[in-house]
Structures are given as C-alpha cells and as structure tokens.
Chains A and B, each alone.
Chain A
Amino acid sequence: MDSLASTVQQVFNEPACSVNRAKADKDRKKGCGGILKPGAAAGGCAFDGAKIALQPITDVAHLVHGPIACEGNSWDNRGAKSSGSLLYRTGLTTDINETDVVFGGEKRLFRAIKEILVKYDPPAIFVYQTCVTALIGDDIEALCKAASAQFKKPIIPINAPGFVGSKNLGNKLAGEALLEYVIGTDEPDYTTPYDINIIGEYNLAGELWQVKPLLEELGIRVLACMSGDARYRDIACAHRARAAMMVCSKAMINVARKMEERYGIPFFEGSFYGISDMSEALRAIARLLVSRGAPGDLIARTELVIAREEARAARRLAPYRARLQGKRILLITGGVKSWSVVAALQEVGMEIVGTSVKKSTEGDKERIKKIMGDEAHMIEDMAPREMYRMLKEARVDMMLSGGRSQFVALKAKVPWLDINQERHHAYAGYEGIVSLVQEIDTSLYNPVWSQLRRAAPWDTEYVS
C-alpha cells in the first residue's frame, strides 16, 4: 500500500496540470476531484478509471482481481473498437469468494494468471487490484513480479483499487503503470521521422479511425495510441515516437509529461472534435514533427489537406445551416468537448444556451469565454431537477450529454444525443463533425416529437 500511497501523492502533484498549478501546496496533497460526499456522489472509482484507460489495448488479457461486482457488473459496457484481437473484450476475473477473503486471494490469482496464459497466450496480462483484495493485503505487485519471472511474460500490476479515489485518478494510475512497466521495454522494427503517439484517445465508436486516414495520407504514423485500438507492443515501443498529442487533458497528462522528461518527446494538447480543432491538431502535429527534424514540406502538405477537408466539410454542412440556424442546444459534457463541440455547433448557426464546465480546466474555460463571449453560459453544476425544468419549459430545443442525464431529457420529451462514452456514432475529425450535425438534424426533425408532446385526448390541458 505504501508504494501505492506514494504514487497517488506523486500523481496529485502533477506539475503539468493547470488546475494543480493554481492550487496551494496543502490543497494539492488532498488530490483532484475533492472529497466525495456520501449520499450525493456520482461517478466511477479509480479502478473504473484504470480500466477505461487500459482496456482498449486489444491483445492484452485484462484480469480483475476481486469479487464479482467489479468485473461481473461492469464488463462489456464501453464501445472501444478493435481492428484486430478481441481478447480485450473477454471478461476475466478471479471472482473471489469468502474463503479467499479470509485466507487471501493470491493463490487464486496466481492460478488465474496461469490459466489465462495456457488458454490465450497473450503478449501480456494486466492484473487490476480492487478494494477488497487491497484491504485483505494481497500484494499484486510482488505476485506479478514473481509470475513475470516464472512465466517469462509481462504480468503487470495495475494498482488502482476503487477506494483510492475517482475515475480520473484511476486514469492517471493506469498511466503510471504503463510508464513503469510497459513503455520503453521493446523496440520498433523501424522508426520514421513521422512517428507520433496519441495519448488519451480510446477509439470509442471507432473515432480514431476517422482521424488516422488523414494522418496516413500525410505519411504520419501513429506509433502508439494510448490506448485506442493499441497492441501491447505498440505501447512498449512508444518511447521512440518523435512527438505526441494529448487528447483528453485530464486523463493521462502524467504520461505525456513524463515521456517528454524521459525520452524527450514533446507534446501538445489538442482535440479531434470540431473542424477548427481538427485542423489545429493536424497543424500542431506537423509543426512538432518538423521541429524534431521531419522534412519541412510536411507543413505545406498538411495545409493542403486541411484546406481540402475544410472545404469538403463546409460543403457537406451547408445544407444543414438553414435547418439548424438558431436552434438552442444545452451541452452537458466536460473537458475539451465543452468548447470544441461548441465551436462546431456554432459553425452551423446553432445557439448554445449553456455548456457545463464542471470537469473543465481553467484553460477550457478560457476557450469557452473566447468562443461564447461571456461567462453567462457556463454551467458549474446543474441539478437534474433544474435541467428538467429548463427542458420542460422549452427553453432548449435539444440536449447533448452523456448517458447519465439521458432520461432527464427524454422524460421531458426533448431530443437528446449521446456525446459521451456510450455513444454509438463516431464524432471525431471532419467526418465526425458532419455525422454529429446529421445526427442532431435527424433527431430534431424526427416526427415523434410533435406526436409525443400532444396531450392525450382525455386530458383537457397540455403543459410543456
């Protein structure tokens, strides 16, 4: 536990995090996300965060050491896509019982590792610690070390039991495990001056694949994506990249910064959502690669692709402008999307009546102010009841959010679109923004709304 405690403290101290820099020393030690309020908390635990960050590595066996709740209640619930192995979608758990709780679960864990190696022969096994097994003192770090030595395979402890903190902390602890045990342990067959890493992109609904063809057209190779559609070996070789893009700013900033420190890989923070951000991301990648020695013509070539794609996207979006002009959108999401999606929707004339900033950094908020003009539209924390009222009183034409608030909108009979992790459509890149606008249009103009809002014939008055 001691090594875990010190890792947690170190993660809390992340110097590259802008939120952290603004804090006093004392507050920084308390960590991110603040103290959870019993009876009024929502959101995943550290284990959840670690699994979210790492499970998209497709050829790894992800073994959860704990009681059935941790894996049995949660597996197969996110849409990270794979272009190869499907092993990552296999639910693996030691499913410990009462005897294990009394006598320790290490023996079962060791046998489980052995069984997985025999059945699947994966390039690596990630072993996730959970609350109960941490509490009874199962030392997964020592056990994984012994197992690695015995089986000559990387058996990697992911020490992020749920009770150490939030999902976000779990993301970072997962990153620490990659830094400590995976990155730099193998060498790529060859390298190019155009090799990059993408950090904090999980290929949900296949979003990475909306971006990758453009990179490939420019000759840019994604050496490692952390961790969407990644192979174990990609991550092991990631230290040879020339530059990195960090997509989800709050998730794995520690990985980006430490890789810069250790391997001299410069990174920038960017987003694939929205036309201007996508273009900006391509420009930044090209600039960083050229600054690291890639031929200078990359910048001009990138501009050509950007010009072509922007024109194409604009052409495809044009028909929607008349239909979507002035439609009022409530956007409940976090981080990068709180501003990048805003910009995208404004491009087709939609009005953003509010965007949540609960999970946004100071930098994100600055961006919102710049795009939207003032602070009035920033929502710090909106209770579901207030959200419902706003929708019910028809102050909003449509809500975009994550699954959590889905039914607030639907029960108020207001169109709703999922833009968080459970979404079925991919919204990244130039392709993605067109898809997003198409989805919004389809949803807004669906004839069900006018039917649903009519009162039943036996009701005298109709409110909404």
Chain B
Amino acid sequence: MTRLGASPTLRPGAVAKACAINPLKMSQPLGAALAFLGIERAMPVFHGAQGCTAFGLVLLVRHFREAIPLQTTAMNEVTTIMGGGDNIEKALLNIYERAKPAFIGIASTGLTETKGDDVDGELRRIRSDHPELTVPVVYVSTPDYQGAFQDGWAKAVTRMVAAFAKRAPTVRGLVTLLPGGHVTPGDIIELHEILEDFGLEVIVLPDISGSLDGHVPDDFSPTSLGGTKISDLYRIGASEAVIALGEQMRPAAQMMTAMTGVPSVVFDTLTGLLANDRFFSYLSALSQRAVPLKYRSQRSRLVDAMLDAHFFFGGRRVAIGAEPDLLWTLSTWLQGMGAAVVAAVTTTQSPLLEHPLMAGTHIGDLDDLERQALAQGCDLLITHSHGRQAAARLGIPFLRMGLPLFDRLGAAHRVLVGYRGTRELTFEVGNLWLAHDPESGPHGHTHCPAAGDRGGDPILACRLDVRP
C-alpha cells in the first residue's frame, strides 16, 4: 500500500473535484432498502419521488436477478413543499391493503430530507389515526447527499435493533449475527452452516440469504421471499452473544449490547487464514466445543491453496474500488498473500481508513481509481461491474466485487468468508493472473497501449482507443 499519510478523504496534492466521473458510490437509501429486504415478508419504501425507487429497484434487480419489492411515497413538487405526511399515510395504507407485508421499512431520501419531514412524528400520528395498521414499521433517515450505501445499511440495521431488542433471559447457544451490507447471501449461508456446526442457533439480522438467495417459491409473493422472521426479531435480546461482521456494524452491535446487555464482538473481516483462525477460536470458546473436523480439513486445504497460489500473488500490484468494509476485507487478505494494494478508492468515511494499512485510500470515483491504477502500474483491478470499461482500457485482469454485479451470474452466491470461501477466492484471483499472463513470450502486464506515445491525458487517450 502506498503510504501517502494524509487525511482519508483526499490524497495530498489532489484538488477536490467538483464533478464525480463514473461513480463508485451508491446512495444510502439503497443500502437501507437492501437491509429491510432481509426481513421476512418485508416491503421497503422510499420516502421520495417515484424515480428514487425505480432506479434503486432496477439496480438491485440487475444485481440479484430477482424481483425486488420496493415501494415509494411518490412525492411530487407540491407534496414535497407541503410536507409528506399524507403521502406516508397513503403509502402505508395502500401497501398494507395490497401486499399484506409482515414488516415495512421506510428510508428517507435527499428530497424529503431537504424539506425536513418529521417522519417519526408522522408515524406516531398515523399509528394513532389507524389502529388497524398493526404491521411493524421501522423508519431510518438516509439522505442521499450524505454517506453511501453501507451507511444506509448500517443505519437501517441499527434502527431495527433499536426497535426489536429487549432484555430477556439468555437462551443458551442462541447467537445473533449482524452482517454488514457487503456480506452476500452466499456468505450468510456459509456462516449459518459454520455456527450450526458448533451447535449454535443463529438469528441473522438482516438475513438476505432467505430472500435474495435465488430460490423458487411455491406461490407468488409481492413482498420479500424470506429473511429474518418477525418472531425471531423479538428474540434477539435473549442471545448469548452478538457477532457483527464488518466495522460498519459496530454501532448496531453496541446498540444491541446497550439495550440488552448481550455481549458483542465485531469481526472486521472473515477472509484470510488468520481472520478465520480468530473466528473459529472464538466460536469454539463460545460454544465450549472443539472445532469440528470438517473445519480442520478446510483449514488444511486453505493452507495448501496458499502454498500453491502464493507464487502468483507475490509482488502483484492491485487497484481496488470498494466500500470501506469490503476494501478492508480484500486489502488485508491480498496483503496477507504478498500482493500490494497500490491504488484504493472508497465511498464513505470509516474508522478503518485511519489504519496505517489504508493510508492513501481516499473517497472518490472510478475515474480516480483508473488514473491511480495507471499511474501506479497495476496487475489487477477490483471493483463492481461499472469498472469493466476501465479494466479494458487499462488492459489488466478484472475481478468483479461488491454491488452491482450485473454482467455476471451468481452475484448472490459469491462467498468470501470462512476457510472455504477464502480458498475459492484465492484460486479465483490466482487464476485471473494465470489466464492473463502468456505461457511464453514477453512476460508481464500491458498497460494502456496508447498511454506512452500520446500527448495529453493518458486516460483520455485510452478512452479513444479501447471500446469494450
């Protein structure tokens, strides 16, 4: 990692751009919507114009290749200025009437936050005016002009914890898992299996592996196809422990501990040998069980994979554009394999960015990432699907990570956690380099072919030349 040693928001010497080019970032409400979709029979709602919902919906549909229930309060110019209380009321009644959800999650948007609607106050009024509206409703404030996707996810989960956590007698072996927004349905399925193999009962909040894992239900449903059961939501306070995955989940874990007294632990990453050693040791202590044989074998296979693969990782230079927690996960793992992350762009503030390992990371866009990657000379670009053109222009292998992944199948089932997930990732990345480097002939990477011999902006020169 290059150590430029400055504030995490901006590299020294770089002038803040007024224009974001090829955004890496997506907005907070979208993260909140995805978190709400991890509740069984849920209907998330954006309090905003109908376009806010339409864009978010299309993006999630493209990523998951699933129907996405997501509604809108359909604000227009007049209702925005007059205040959105009536629209929230109408939306709740309509949704309740038509979709019969077991849970409604409301996320505000830039539009309604600019006006400053008091949604909590409106919800109290609506509740008292409509006692027939018995469905749990959780509201989270997520203006589009602050933070990013993972902030919206984290805030929504914190609000759900606040709404449902209650002090209760501890149930032995019950664990609540709070996954970050970067954790895939495939990851959750893997973690579920691991925890159950330790004899633990786990409540995942939110559980998008129940709703967005791509399964075929027996009948049509206008709401989410699965997820955390409402009855389980009320039981989280009885947990023996809370396990959070990703630094973004620390506030939710702390909220849970503060409200229920249940001890919490935050794992910053579950990718890599040592990260999983810590995790499995923790589970062993918590459950008072030895690590099952299955995982001892998995660990051994990962060790062997690292032996086979390290030849291809050592000295490699990688560029990553990802949200802070995913960036941390990938960076720590890659550096543990001998590769260097020499260009890194992220979306939002995080305590992780203070870590020396993350020095040089700044909040920016894919254009910044592409320029840094070009300047640093990189062997691999890692970001979401929007990075595919940059990778083609740079002429380097491209690993799709994060959200959205719309030009590949199986986004929901990418697994990065556990010994097994780490082994698969190790092979995948190693294979990208094996496939890219010719078996014979001049070795090494080709950067943008036009960069050297053209005047002016090298990235622009590439843009003119390469048409992916």
Contacts and interface: CB of A to CB of B under 8 A. Distances in A.
A67 B30 CA distance: 13
A48 B222 CA distance: 24
Q: Of residues A40, A114, A384, which shows the largest number of chain B Cβ atoms within 10 Å of its Cβ?
A: A40
B145 A132 contact: yes
A132 B26 contact: no
Given A69-B110, A163-B77, A38 B386 contact: no
Given A38-B94, A115-B17, A74 B25 contact: no
B84 to A, nearest CB: 9
Interface in B47-93: 48-56, 58-59, 61-62, 65-67, 71-77, 80-81, 87-88, 90-93
A93 B367 CA distance: 12
Contacts of B67: 406-408, 411
Interface in A27-54: 36-48
A72 B19 contact: no
A68 B111 contact: no
B389 A407 contact: no
B19 A70 contact: no
Given A36-B50, A38-B88, A68-B148, A131 B26 contact: no
Contacts of B29: 69
A73 B220 contact: no
Contact of B26 (A72, A120, A407): A72
Contacts of A114: 18
Interface string A56-83: 0000000100111111111111000000
B363 to A, nearest CB: 10
A164 interface: yes
A408 B216 CA distance: 11
Given A38-B72, A67-B110, A77-B59, A385 B88 contact: no
Given A77-B62, A92-B21, A98 B54 contact: no
Given A66-B110, A131-B80, A162 B49 contact: yes
A46 B51 contact: yes
B418 to A, nearest CB: 28
A77 B22 CA distance: 13
Nearest to B20: A95
B39 interface: no
B95 A39 contact: yes
Contacts of A73: 26-27, 30, 55-56, 59
Interface string A418-449: 00000000000000000000000000000000
A257 B114 CA distance: 38
Contacts of A74: 55, 58-59
Interface string B209-249: 00000001101101000000000000000000000000000
A414 to B, nearest CB: 12
Q: Of residues A42, A95, A403, which shows the largest number of chain B Cβ atoms within 10 Å of its Cβ?
A: A95
B71 A40 contact: yes
Contact of A68 (B48, B91, B114, B145): B145
Contacts of A408: 67, 220
B144 interface: yes
Interface string A382-421: 0011001100100000000001001110011100000000
A411 B217 contact: yes
A101 interface: yes
Contact of A47 (B51, B95, B109): B51
Contacts of A413: 216
A38 B143 contact: no
Contacts of B389: 86, 89
A462 to B, nearest CB: 12
Interface residues of B, number: 69
Q: Of residues A74, A108, A134, A403, which shows the largest number of chain B Cβ atoms within 10 Å of its Cβ?
A: A74
A86 B463 contact: yes
A120 to B, nearest CB: 7
B294 interface: no
Interface in A121-140: 131-132, 134-136
A331 B430 CA distance: 46
Interface string A89-123: 11111111110110000001111111110011000
A165 interface: yes
Q: Of residues B25, B54, B386, which shows the largest number of chain A Cβ atoms within 10 Å of its Cβ?
A: B54
B110 to A, nearest CB: 4
Contacts of A412: 220
Interface string B180-205: 00000000000000000000000000
A94 B45 CA distance: 26
B467 interface: yes
B460 interface: yes
A135 B20 contact: no
A94 B26 contact: no
Contacts of A67: 27, 110, 143-145
Given A136-B114, A385-B222, A37 B20 contact: no
Contact of B19 (A63, A131, A164): A63
Contact of B467 (A86, A166, A392): A86
B49 A163 contact: yes
A420 to B, nearest CB: 12
Interface string A230-251: 0000000000000000000000
A135 B114 contact: yes
Interface in B411-468: 457, 460, 463, 467
A119 B457 contact: yes
5 A-B pairs with the lowest CB-CB distances in the bound complex, closest first: A45-B51, A39-B94, A39-B91, A111-B18, A112-B19
Interface of B: 17-23, 25-27, 29-30, 45, 48-56, 58-59, 61-62, 65-67, 71-77, 80-81, 87-88, 90-95, 98, 109-111, 114-115, 143-146, 148, 216-217, 219-220, 222, 386, 389, 406, 457, 460, 463, 467
16 contacts: A36-B50, A40-B71, A42-B50, A47-B51, A69-B55, A73-B27, A73-B56, A76-B386, A77-B62, A86-B467, A93-B23, A94-B19, A101-B114, A135-B115, A161-B77, A411-B220
